[in-house]
Amino acid sequence: MIKKKWPLLLVLGLMFVFGLGLSGCEKEPDDDPDDDDPIITPPTLSLAAAVFTLEFGGTATIVPIIGNTTEVLEVAYAIADPTVISITGNVIAALKTGTTAVTASLVGHPEITVAMSVTVKTFPLALSGESEVYVDETITLSAFDRNNPQSAVVFWESNDIGIATVNQNGVVTGVSEGVVQIKISSFLTNHTLEKEITVLVPDATGIELNAQTAGPFKTFSQTELEAHVFPSGADQEVVWSSENEEIATVDATGKVTLLRSGTVIINATAKTNSLIKGTISITVEVDPIALLRSLNVDNPIVQYVTTYGNTQLQQWVYGSVSKYYPGALNLKVNLIPVGTNLIAKFGYPAGPNPYKGSYFSPAIRAIIDERVTRSGLLKTSISNIIYHDTGNNSSGATAAMHATYLAGQDNLNYRARSWHYTVDDKEVIQHLPDNEVAWQGDTDAAYGTTIGIETCVNAGSDLYLTWHRTAKLMAGLLVKYNLKVSAVKQHYDYSQKDCPRTLRHSNLYGNAIDLITAEYLVLTELSGYTIAFTSNNPEYINDLGRIVDLPAVATRVSYTVRITNGSGYDAQVILYSTLPGKTA
């Protein structure tokens, strides 16, 4: 039988483990019983200087000395009276006179301190006074040098005389908006002191206008206006405007161009305040010679144009040496009879015309349009004049021929078209009273409020003379109905029809408006005057200013304009134009 041995082995193992543990816990003997533990020494703080004396406004630098450490340590400062000095980093700034104690300490070691004393002495210079001044105004600063108590004399200067100047009495004058430093310097020491001055622009309170030249002012002359904004230091920039640009215009610099007689108000408004305004009234008198000189044409039109009808035809157009035509209008009145009956058309039976004397309306137009040539309908107003051309360039398509056509049965049966006047190079024929509706312009707006004028483009005619005569007619109607030249419209403006086609395709419609403007000016400005032209080169221009022939080469020609009236006015001037040569 084998006996179990594991209890004995367990006991032996435990003894072994505890034996090792007990052996490791034994205290080892001290090799050197005479050695002491190390002693830690704290850092030290001292100052290169602990007593400071500064002048008011001055600075000084503290130099701390930190020892017994390799650490980088900072120094903190506790100021007993922070109104006397401030310390930023290690720099002392003197704020006011007085003495204050300061305690310096190491950050992280508040127990390590050094006492300081700082005294601020009175600064020798003093500078006082206002800190703002307006442009063109002054303030006076006061200065004192305590090192020179018997005299207040210091040297004054400005760091920017474009903003403000200062004289040696301390008087500061604002020059322009901005900030400037005014500095005083002692004559006895090197001390200086500065004061910041802000220069402001005052608000405008008023504007006065003056003309550089005295009146009377004449048409077609110019004058310069000056604007003075008050106070003088205010922004002097103004915005100019004319209350009637037909009489006078004014540019951005105040230059006034006088165009027509009358009285006009010119305004200058402060750019900084639109409520501040200055005005001047200018009365303009007509200068007849200057007016005719302004209408002279330096280089008259000589152009090959196309006229339009059943075929296209080309012909030369010779212009005039003046935009004004001194010839007669030659107006004839040949009214179309009022249609008493409406013809059968558009499903309507023939019948009487009950609308004679009625005012135009689209509803009435829908019933009688193209059923009667002259309806007798009345307009409520006259607002515009429509410029047409006949679109008939056959040689016989004159004003007289169109008058016959309008009143004829062919027109009534076809479209029953009508208009008020037809113009050719010899005469003007009126077909309807101005206040009656004509079937021209192709819109109700045209029918109801406009006067229609057809210009002839018949082959072989003097087209430019036709346009002259048209201009004279239209100008008279504009004046009669108190309209401006801008009231003249093309047929195209109402219905986009390409009419007046010859003028439009020749780029001469603008020239036609110039002729109307010239006639309008003479009619309104020189009413009661007589104007006569005399050609000084009759082989090339006639006494109406019309070109009758061209020279072989470009030639300078002239004509004399004489203007008279019943009040004793009698003046004349020679005007010049250059005609192109036939070989040009």
- CB of 207 closer than 8 Å to CB of 238: yes
Q: What are phi and psi of 565, to 5 degrees?
A: -145, 175
In the prediction, which pLDDT does 1 show?
39
In the prediction, which pLDDT does 123 show?
78
In the prediction, which pLDDT does 32 show?
53
Tokens 């004061």: give the residue: 195
What's the average model confidence in pLDDT over 482-491?
A: 96
- CB of 94 closer than 8 Å to CB of 58: yes
Could you tell me the pLDDT band of residue 39, with boundaries at 50, 70 and 90? confident
- CB of 346 closer than 8 Å to CB of 416: no
CA distance 211 to 420: 48
Which residues are within 8 A (CB) of 196 and not within 5 positions of it... i.e. 6 or more apart? 131, 179, 180, 181, 182
Cα distances (Å, whole numbers) of residue 546 to 307, 515, 536, 542, 557 = 21, 13, 12, 6, 12
In the prediction, which pLDDT does 17 show?
41
pLDDT in tens, 279-311: 999 999 999 999 999 999 999 999 999 999 999
Instruction: Write the burial class of residue 214 (CB in 10 Å: 0-12 exposed, 13-18 middle, 19+ buried).
Output: exposed
Domains of the chain: 44-121 (2.60.40.1080), 125-200 (2.60.40.1080), 206-285 (2.60.40.1080), 293-524 (3.40.80.10)
Look at the alpha carbons of 441, 445, 448, 450 in this order and tell me if their dihedral is positive or negative. negative
Could you tell me the pLDDT band of residue 18, with boundaries at 50, 70 and 90? very low
pLDDT in tens, 132-172: 999 999 999 999 888 776 666 889 999 999 999 999 999 99
What's the average model confidence in pLDDT over 226-246?
A: 94
- CB of 126 closer than 8 Å to CB of 165: no
What's the average model confidence in pLDDT over 374-391?
A: 94
In the prediction, which pLDDT does 191 show?
87
pLDDT in tens, 96-126: 889 999 999 999 999 999 999 999 988 788 8
Helix, strand or coil, per DSSP, at residue 157: strand
CA distance 481 to 230: 45
Which residues are within 8 A (CB) of 151 and not within 5 positions of it... i.e. 6 or more apart? 145
> Over the Cα atoms of the chain, what is R_g?
52
In the prediction, which pLDDT does 27 show?
45
Helix, strand or coil, per DSSP, at residue 223: strand
pTM across the whole model: 0.70
What's the average model confidence in pLDDT over 526-543?
A: 97
Could you tell me the pLDDT band of residue 553, with boundaries at 50, 70 and 90? very high
In the prediction, which pLDDT does 150 show?
65
What is the DSSP pairing of strand 98-106 with strand 85-88?
Answer: unpaired
In the prediction, which pLDDT does 353 show?
87
Which residues are within 8 A (CB) of 351 and not within 5 positions of it... i.e. 6 or more apart? 341, 342
In the prediction, which pLDDT does 371 show?
87
Weakest mean pLDDT among 55-59, 243-247, 317-321:
55-59
Q: What are 245's two structure tokens?
A: 């640009």
CA distance 80 to 294: 90
In the prediction, which pLDDT does 38 show?
66
Which residues are within 8 A (CB) of 72 and not within 5 positions of it... i.e. 6 or more apart? none
Within its chain, how far is the Cα of 14 from the centroid? 111
395 has pLDDT over 70 = yes
Could you tell me the pLDDT band of residue 406, with boundaries at 50, 70 and 90? very high
In the prediction, which pLDDT does 13 show?
45
- The angle, 0 to 180 degrees and rounded to 10, between the axes of the packed helices 463-480 and 509-525 is 50
Opening angle at CA 434, ends 342 and 390, nearest 5: 75
- CB of 124 closer than 8 Å to CB of 147: yes
Query: How confident is the prediction for the chain on average, in pLDDT?
Result: 90
2 has pLDDT over 80 = no
Q: What are phi and psi of 325, to 5 degrees?
A: -110, 115
Could you tell me the pLDDT band of residue 559, with boundaries at 50, 70 and 90? very high
Percent of the chain with pLDDT strictly greater than 70: 92
